[in-house]
Amino acid sequence: MAWHARLAGVLAAGVLLLAQCGGDDGDQTDGDAAAPAAPEVAATSVTAPPAPTATAAPPALSDPTTAPAAPNPLPPEPPAPVPTTPVEQPAPSGPPPVAVGTMPELRIDAGGYPHALFAAQFFSGPVDGISAASSDTTVATAGVSEPDMVIVTPVSRGDASVTLTASGPGGTATQTFTVRVQTGADRNQAAPAPPAAPAPAAPQDPEPFVPDEELPAAAPPGPSVPEETLPAQAVQQEETPPDDQSLYLMASEPVTAAPTLSGSIPAQTVIVENSGTVSASAYFRGVVQGWEVRSSAPASVPVSVNEAGVVRFSGDALGTFTITVTAKNDVGSARYGFTVAVKTADQVILTTVGDSPQLVVAVGRTITVDLSRYFSEAATTFDVIDERTDPNRLIDVTVQGSSAQIQGLRAGTASITLVAASDTARISRPATVQVTG
């Protein structure tokens, strides 16, 4: 067998090595002489053909450790598909949000500051969240930060539509408004081209010198708006603003009269640590070469103005402050003051406060409920909606100011709706009244 031949070759090689080691010693000792010589057969067996390598000879089938590997089993068949029944999504529960009013167009200067809008005032009903999306992010971007404040950031000149989506347990509602990003050139009409210079006249003899006393009297300046005709807040004493709050430009057309007022700048409201803008140029007429603004408290409401007459202010402290805007040219000036109320978010944004009320009243008894405790400070008027015309109603409700009187008529549980409104928004929330016997 092949493995016998390999074993014989290995033994022959070992004997040959031993013989060579003995021959290298030279003189033999007594022990060397007594050692028998290597068998002749072992020496000739070295020249036998080399044994095949391990890879050429298959292992013996009797050795379990070298037995050939069994063939790989076939992969199991996939299980038959089990039919599944689609899971039905639960239907929306509760009333959906409702869009309130129409959102006005927003105008922002290109390269100006982001502008904040309070989205909650444009929706009523249960609202879980509000999102904003711009139709053209190359013109303006829109996002929402807490509490439901929409931030619109100008990017480049153009128009874009911003869509607000209010989501609630009963569905969604949307509001869309236009954002117009403008430059200073958009706000001011193009100045007329200057007349062509006349051709030089032919040289003439110089005119005789005229003494000063013979010169005609100078024409009186054009009419200006006296300070006594301005509102009281426009003439308050304010601190002198820094130099960067006053701009003066060269007139692009002849100036013959001072600027005049064309309207009243409305009072402004801003949430503390936020900013706002007013386009003062819309409230003055005539040629305006320069603008100036002053704040009654620069540390609390810092203010600045650009060449287009856009006034920017920040509410750094709570309170009511006055900003005075002055439009001027080489002939005269006109000014007007408007107020800025800096308030907290609760004072500006109309929202619900706390959990839905669960009231208890006994039959024949009356309880008084302060409705203002269930809404933010922005609420100014209140009401309660109930089944007042139902002859089988369980309660009787009367509302005066922010106070509601609820009388128990018969035992049971009645559902009512509490309503609050501000100058710009209206909101409602459900409540229950348990009438005990």
pLDDT at 371: 93
**One domain, residues 337 and 384:** no
pLDDT at 349: 86
Count structural domains, the chain.
4
Q: Tens of pLDDT along 283-294? A: 999 989 899 999
Residue 81 lies in a domain: no
**One domain, residues 388 and 341:** no
Helix (H), strand (E), coil (C) string for the chain: CHHHHHHHHHHHHHHHHHHHHHHCCCCCCHHHHHCCCCCHHHHHHHHCCCCCCCCCCCCCCCCHHHCCCCCCCCCCCCCCCCCCCCCCCCCCCCCCCEECCCCCCEEEECCCCCEEEEHHHHEECCCCEEEEEECCCCCEEEEEECCCEEEEEECCCEEEEEEEEEEECCEEEEEEEEEEEECHHHHCCCCCCCCCCCCCCCCCCCCCCCCHHHCCCCCCCCCCCCHHHCCHHHHCCCCCCCHHHEEECCCCCCCCCCCEECCCCCCEEEECCCEEEEEHHHHEECCCCEEEEEECCCCCCCEEECCCCEEEEECCCCEEEEEEEEEECCCCEEEEEEEEEEECHHHHCCCECCCCCEEEEEECCEEEEEHHHHECCCCCEEEEECCCCCCCCCEEEEEECCEEEEEECCCEEEEEEEEEECCCCEEEEEEEEEEEC
**One domain, residues 310 and 365:** no
**One domain, residues 335 and 252:** yes
pLDDT at 343: 92
**One domain, residues 363 and 294:** no
Q: What is the CATH number of the domain that holds 240?
A: 2.60.40.10
Residue 192 lies in a domain: no
Q: Tens of pLDDT along 170-181? A: 889 999 999 988
pTM: 0.38
Looking at per-residue confidence, does 75 or 322 come out higher? 322
Residue 368 lies in a domain: yes
Share of the chain above pLDDT 90, in %: 37
pLDDT at 238: 40
Q: What is the span of the domain harbouring residue 354?
A: 350-436
Residue 34 lies in a domain: yes
Residue 70 lies in a domain: no
pLDDT at 39: 43
Task: Give the pLDDT mean for 103-119.
Answer: 76
pLDDT at 141: 92
pLDDT at 57: 46
Q: Tens of pLDDT along 220-251? A: 544 444 444 444 444 333 444 443 455 555 44
Looking at per-residue confidence, does 382 or 55 come out higher? 382
**One domain, residues 342 and 319:** yes
pLDDT at 230: 44
Average pLDDT, the chain: 75
**One domain, residues 228 and 318:** yes
Task: Give the pLDDT mean for 79-94.
Answer: 60
Task: Give the pLDDT mean for 55-84.
Answer: 54
pLDDT at 47: 45
Whether 62 has a pLDDT exceeding 50, the answer reads no
Whether 298 has a pLDDT exceeding 70, the answer reads yes
Residue 91 lies in a domain: no
